[in-house]
Structure formats: structure tokens, C-alpha cells
Amino acid sequence: MKIGELAQRTGLAPSRIRFYERIGLLKAVERQENGYRSYPDDAVLALKLIAAGQRAGFSLDELRALLPSDLASWEHGTLLDTLRRKVQDIEALQAQLAQSKAHLVELMAQIEAKPQDMDCAANARRVLSEMQLIEADSAPATRRARRRH
């Protein structure tokens, strides 16, 4: 099949398909005598897997390592291990984002708790000094936790 049909069947732009081919994600592309690319039917599946992998958070390098050169030769254990690691990465990111959100919510609460008679600049200094005290109090515990891991 030609690139136009492949683009239509996958919803990807021809330039994106050529890019995936150039970086080695899309393999088994043949050239016809007139120079046109000819793609096998498996190219539709490969491109849909690449797009789904990117939506799931896989980098192109991760996808290159994950996708076999022949889609018929998937290694079940390797695939599952890779997917499990990606889930763990996502869970770690979620925990980090939850911690960042909690920190920002606390910061907003401290800023909103500005005394009536205090101007904004003085309130900012108050909040910053409280933050530094909290960080200084938690630093030894953080260092102890890091040493344990």
C-alpha cells in the first residue's frame, strides 16, 4: 500500500509516517521502481501500536526497544515486564504530582491566611520564612529516609 492509504487508515500524517520510518520504528518498507514507498499490511498495526504507545507515555526510544522487528515475534515476558515498569513509572509520577499539589495547596492556604493589617510584601516574607522553617525541620528526616534507600 502507498503512504496516502496508510495515512488514511492510521490517521497519521504522511510526514509522521516517514519520520517513524527514518528513525527505525517502522520497518519492512519497500521502494517500488518509481521510488514510491510500499508498505505491508502490518504497517497499519505497527503505526497504531506506536501511536497508542505514545499516548500511554512511552518515548520513541522505549517504543523502538519494545517493538519487535517482526510483529509476529513478540516476547510475552519482555512485553509484560516493560509494561509493568511503565505502570510503576506512572505511579511514581502520580505520587510526585500529588505531593506537589499538596505543597501548592498548603502554600495557597498560607498566603490566603494573611492578617488583615499586613500588606502583601510582608505576607510574602511571612510565608517564605514559614516555608524555610518547615523545610529545615523536615530536612534531617528526608536525609535519614534517603540513607535508608
Look at residue 19 and give its three-state secondary structure.
helix
R_g over Cα of the chain? 26
- Measured CA to CA, the distance from residue 119 to residue 89 in angstroms comes to 43
Fold of 3-72: Multidrug-efflux Transporter Regulator; Chain: A; Domain 2 (1.10.1660)
> Which pLDDT score is estimated for 41?
87
| Banded pLDDT at 72 (limits 50, 70, 90) | confident
Using a pLDDT cut of 90, give the percent of the chain over it. Answer: 34
pLDDT the model gives residue 144: 53
Q: Write down how long the chain is.
A: 149
Please check whether residue 50 is in contact with residue 63, taking contact to mean a CB–CB distance below 8 angstroms: yes
The C-alpha angle 66, 67, 69, rounded to 5 degrees, equals: 135
Contacts of 99 (CB under 8 A, 6+ apart): none
pTM comes to 0.63
Question: What one-character DSSP code corresponds to residue 60?
Answer: H
pLDDT tens per residue, range 6-28: 999 999 999 999 999 999 888 87
Q: How far apart are CA 99 and CA 71, in angstroms?
A: 40
DSSP code of residue 37: E
